[in-house]
Amino acid sequence: MTGDLPEHPLPASTLVPALVRQVQGAGGFATVLRKGSQWGAALLLVHRQGATVAAYEKVPTLDGRPSWRLAAEGAEPVQSFIDRQARFDPDLWVLELDIAALERFVPGFATSR
């Protein structure tokens, strides 16, 4: 009955570097812009083939599965959002990514974004 047990999330200090290695290994761009604490939250700054940047934040769901919400889009709104979040959460991680089919690497990231 292990399928009924909730998953225990890995700390951001494990997930973020692993995601960077996976994306870079697949020929994409990934870099950590802000390093938070071990269990800090992570924001994704996503570029689609060098186009406008969008910020996504992980949101809780009733079923416990990961899901990401578009939080801001465009350079100035994204920077403003990061600044507000960093003031609220000093443990925040910020990861910048540019790769096709990001949903292959980030669980819960919808393909329609």
Q: DSSP secondary-structure letter at 7?
A: P
Q: Which helix (H) or strand (E) holds 81?
A: helix 75-88
Q: Would you say residue 45 lies in a domain?
A: yes
Q: Would you say residue 111 lies in a domain?
A: no
pTM > 0.95: no
Q: Would you say residue 50 lies in a domain?
A: yes
SS3 46: strand
- Domain that includes residue 73, residue range: 29-102
Closest CA to 68 of 79, 55, 80, 77: 55
Q: Would you say residue 18 lies in a domain?
A: no
What CATH number is attached to the domain comprising 47? 3.40.1530.20
The pLDDT score that the predictor gives to residue 1 is 45
| Cβ neighbour number for residue 49 with a 10 Å cutoff | 7
Closest CA to 105 of 40, 53, 30, 55: 30
How many domains would you assign to the chain? 1
Q: Would you say residue 2 lies in a domain?
A: no
The predicted model gives 4-29 an average pLDDT of 84
The pLDDT score that the predictor gives to residue 111 is 53
The pLDDT score that the predictor gives to residue 32 is 95
